[in-house]
Amino acid sequence: MAGSELTNTRSPRVKAAKRLTKRAFRDRDRAFLAEGPQAVREALGLPGVVTEVFTTAEAESRHPEILTAARLAGVPVHGASGEVMAELAQTVTPQGLLAVCRFVHVPLAEAVPEGAGLVAVLAYVRDPGNAGTVLRTADAAGADGVVFTDASVDPYNGKCVRASAGSLFHLPVATAAPVAAAVGELRAKGLRVLAADGAGSRTLDDVDLSGPTAWIFGNEAWGLPEEVLGLADEVVRVPIYGRAESLNLATAAAVCLYASARARRAATPV
């Protein structure tokens, strides 16, 4: 490992990175932490996003290609002791790689691009793990963008970034969008707006998902408020065929997004 190893957890460089675990400092510095080899690798795929990388000697020996890519991109790479990495990481067992990244979100209009066929909207979603999983699922299902409304969790929350497994760096993501503004933008771009809610009068089995569609997903505990349900073109529920009372948010979102993705693929000529 080139250069000296950071061993002091109270050094200015370590303290500057550590404060990004707090939202107020993330917003002020317009920067966040991406932890783990997958997240760092994907972040490096966006030029200019990563500003510095911290690595333990063990992590560098396991993932030399990631550190090589960082250095070739002109990104400073700092060796870090296990103690320093434990101070910076937000996981119980750190993987030894962490990047400081610039914010990557885009304006609402860019998160709903012209010709978009599938968009996910998170409204009042507060759990960062669920939010990151929905973002990852939207990416896997081929969505064109994801919108975090102003009442939802910060997508740069460490748990959300980890749960997205790098998908935060793949899709255009808008943040802090008022729900009404998001719905207006979706309709202006020709998308049908569906609210996923257990109180829906129709199920996934009953709706045509072959056209451009946006799904609104709500809070883990109490779903979507009436004012949001009223903005949707339809309120749709996932059918429950067994005895379970309901599905959790991330699972329901996966079912809805993949149902749309499959319907659109089936309707598109090869």
For helices 249-267 and 128-140, angle between their N-to-C axes, nearest 10 degrees: 10
Q: Sheet containing 50-55: which strands, arranged edge to edge?
A: 5-6, 77-80, 50-55, 97-102, 31-35
**Nearest Cα to Cα of residue 231 among 167, 267, 178, 168:** 178
- Is residue 257 within 8 Å of 122, Cβ to Cβ? no
Q: Where are the domains positioned within the chain? A: 5-102, 108-267
SS3 40: helix
**Predicted structure pTM score:** 0.93
CATH topology assigned to domain 108-267: Alpha/beta knot (3.40.1280)
What is the pLDDT tens value at each position of the chain, 270 positions in all?
545 789 999 999 999 999 999 999 999 999 999 999 999 999 999 999 999 999 999 999 999 999 999 999 999 999 999 999 999 999 989 999 999 999 999 999 999 999 999 999 999 999 999 999 999 999 999 999 999 999 999 999 999 999 999 999 999 999 999 999 999 999 999 999 999 998 888 999 999 999 999 999 999 888 899 999 999 999 999 999 999 988 999 999 999 999 999 999 998 765
- pLDDT score for 270: 56
- Is residue 223 within 8 Å of 181, Cβ to Cβ? no
Instruction: Give the pair of three-digit tokens for residue 230.
Output: 């009223």
Q: State CA 264 to chain mean position distance.
A: 23
Single-letter code of the amino acid located at 171: L
- pLDDT score for 268: 77
* Strand bridging mode 213-217 / 77-80: unpaired
Instruction: Give the pair of three-digit tokens for residue 43.
Output: 């972040």
Pick the CATH number of 5-102 from 3.30.1330.30, 3.40.250.10, 3.40.50.970, 1.10.3720.10: 3.30.1330.30
- pLDDT score for 246: 86
Single-letter code of the amino acid located at 227: E
- pLDDT score for 253: 97
- Distance of alpha carbon 66 from alpha carbon 62, whole angstroms: 9
- pLDDT score for 220: 84
